[in-house]
Each structure stands twice: as structure tokens, then as C-alpha cells.
Amino acid sequence: MNPTDSASAMTRRSFLRGSAAAAAAISILPSSAVAGTEANSRIEVGIVGQGGRGGLIADIIAEKHKGLKIVAVADYFPQVAQAAGDKHQVAPDRRFSGLSACAKLLASKVDAVLLETPPCFFPDHAALAVGAGAHVYMAKPVAVDVPGCLRIEELAKTSTQKQKCFLVDFQIPTEELNIEVVRRCKEGLIGPIGLLESFYCDEAFPDPVKTATIEDRLRDLVWVNDIEIGGDYLVNAGIHAIDAALWLAGSAPVSASGASRVLRADPHGNSPDVYSVTYRFADGQILSHRGEHVRNTHGFAAQCVAYGREGYAQVNYEGPAFARGNKGGFRGGDITNLYVNGISRNLDTFEACIRQGRCENQTAALGVRSTLTTILGRQAAKRNEIITWNQLLSDKQVIQPDLTGLKA
């Protein structure tokens, strides 16, 4: 959702299995810079979703973010919620399970909620959280369809009006090397950008035979294979590289065209495995995105290269980030362990914004833009035709998973 070397591969892939636009606007602060964290009362948080990512975030909070206190946990599976509660010493009556777990957690009163479920649930869960007056920290993508994205956009605006924070967690824009590369590109080091090339590949997730209900699809990231639950591989995983490209481009595209196909041998979900999508921008920039999500030993990569008139630059998830031009450059360096470090930086930012009352919530707007861009690519590749941004925004189809038979 990591790189080919085994040490780096442990940072994201293994955890999952068991933008500087935003950074500049919101500023990423270390925990030590949050004035009075130890002296002030801790921010009480609830975490909805205790799978690989949610469990990791809970561990990061417990280990590194003493200004936050986990007081409630929720997961669809009771045994997962109970195990998380035991691990983080959550009161037994604040461990919630079933489809109504998020509502129950919010009713128990928390200052902030961290949403780490499959993204099909994000719009409804975010609406509950904003309605309850809680700050919101959310994974990406923000939704699986256009109406869901537009709901998140409005909910983030409502949060701003209510002086509540709403942060969408992307890691690439938190890395200082990437921030410096983008800054130099914006200042003209590589000249006008003509082509952006983004790339995302991984070893994919299990896609077992479907059962009577989707309950088994909610485990072990199986749901990334299902458009109605996880968005598909482009929307859920490729979004990292595309978000980086949009950061460099500085705007949403005006259209997309492309192709995709299923390559895995025994598919049960409806997500394609390989993608080639071309995006066009109003100023003439072109973004070429390639994605492959197949167990073919290639391993993980997520990066974007910008080709300008006077040079080129690369931002990365794992590996080298740099800028080189005819009149100079930025040597940069190698990025490592961004999954954990990026989450930790975003948690720092979330806490700082809550304590300082900074509720511009620009990461939410950027998260919506990136999610819509991947949905645009998904639709264009599926239809094998050009689709415009305006056509995408007029799409009223709500994509919903079949929840029949699941525990309330």
C-alpha cells in the first residue's frame, strides 16, 4: 500500500498485514514543540478500526504521543476490539464492536476520533463525528465514490466553522526531503513542468472466495480488492503517488483517459490489478500514472518524477528524493521508514492544531482532491474513454457494500 529492500519492507507492508502544500499551511510540529503538552490535560481520543493500520496508530500514540490518550476503541470484530482494549488499558465499557461501534464510541464522549476502517464507512462515520463535535483524523482515501468525497468536503468545512480539526493522513507530504524538492520546483529550479510520471506498485492483498456475507472481506485488507468497500487498488493504494503528483502540479486535472485490467489468476473482488492513466491539466501539464498490484516479486514503490524545461525532480515514499537542473540542484537523500514517521508527524500536527485552535483543515480539501482524481482515473480506465473533471463531479452514483447479515 514497500520497497524492495527487506528492512524498508517491514515499515509498511508487514504492519498493514497483522500535503508540503498541507505541511506548509498547517506546519508539522514535533511533540516537544506542542507547548504545555505534559502540563495540560491530555486529549482523549477514540480509534475506530483496530486492524493493521489502526492498531499501529494506537501503538504509536501510546509510545510517542503523550498528549493524546486512548480512552475508547472500536472495531467490527469483538475480539479485535477487546484485544485492543486490553493492550491500551481501555475501560471495558468503552470497547465497542459491530456496525454501530463508531456511533457508540462517539456517544461515550471523546475529544477526537481516528477513523481507520475501510473507506466505504468514512463518510457516515465522519458525519457522526462532526455531529458529535469531535475532531477528526482520517486515513485515505476519503471515500469510494464521488458523493462520498463531496460529503467529506462539506463535513471538513463544517468542522472549520465549528472550530474543530479535520486531518487526512498522507505521509509523502510530511517528509522534509520531499518538502524541499517541491519547494525548489515551485521556485523554478526545473522550469515549467511538462510531464509528471507517477508510479505505484505492490504485492497486492489476498482475494479469497466470497462467503455468504462480506464479513471475511473486512479482514486483512482483502477489502482493497472490492470497489464498493475499498475503492480499488488505484483509489486505495495508487493514491499515494497521485497525491504527490498533484502536489507538484498544484491543481486538479481537467480530464483523464486510460486502461486497466485484472491480471491475478483467481479474482473474486472487482478491482483491476494494473493501470495506465493519463491526466491532463488546464495549464498543459500531463500526468502519466502507472500502477501494478500483482504478486510478482517486484515489491513496493511509490514515487513521482517531474520533468521540467530546465531539469527534473523526484519525490518518493521510500528511496531517493532530489532535484537536478541546468543551473543547480538539490542533492536530497534517501527516505526511509516513512510509513511510521509520516503517521507520527501527522499525529503531531493533529495535536498541535487542536491545542492551538488551527482549523483551516486544508489536508481534508487536498485529500478530497486526490481521492476524486483517483476515482476519475478508475472511471476513465474502466470505460477506456476520456472523462472530464466536470463530468466526474456530476456523477451521483452512490457505491455501497452489501451489509446484509453483518452484526449491528
What domains does the chain contain, in order, with CATH numbers?
A: 6-171 (3.40.50.720), 173-336+364-393 (3.30.360.10)
Residue 289: predicted pLDDT: 98
The pLDDT mean for the chain works out to: 92
**Range from 23-27, 68-72, 77-81, 360-364 carrying the lowest mean pLDDT:** 23-27
Q: What is the mean pLDDT of residues 156-173?
A: 98
Work out the average pLDDT over 277-287. Answer: 98
Please name which of 366, 315, 312, 342 lies closest in space to residue 199, comparing C-alpha atoms: 315
Q: How many angstroms separate the CA atoms of 23 and 27, rounded?
A: 5
Strands of 43-48's sheet, edge to edge?
95-97, 68-75, 43-48, 112-115, 135-138, 166-168
402-122-97-234 Cα dihedral, nearest 10 degrees: 70
pLDDT cut 90: percent of the chain above it: 90
Amino acid at 45: V
- What is the pTM (predicted TM-score) of this model? 0.91
For the segment 78-82, the average pLDDT, to the nearest whole number, is: 98
pLDDT at residue number 11 = 40
Better-predicted residue by pLDDT, 191 or 33: 191
Q: Name the pLDDT band for 12 (thresholds 50, 70, 90).
A: very low
Give the tens place of pLDDT for each residue, 356-383: 999 999 999 999 999 999 999 999 999 9
What SS3 class is residue 406? coil
pLDDT band of 40, cuts 50, 70, 90: low
Give the Cα separation of 320 and 336 in Å (integer).
9
Evaluate if residue 341 carries a pLDDT over 70. yes
Q: 93 burial class (0-12, 13-18, 19+ CB within 10 angstroms)?
A: exposed
Do residues 346 and 223 make contact, with C-beta atoms less than 8 angstroms apart? Answer: no
> Cα–Cα distance between 402 and 353 in angstroms, integer?
37
Nearest alpha carbon to residue 124 among 88, 240, 132, 370: 132
Cell of 28: 508539522
Q: What Rg, from alpha-carbon coordinates, does the chain have?
A: 20
Our CA dihedral for 191, 371, 43, 76, rounded to 10 degrees, sits at -150
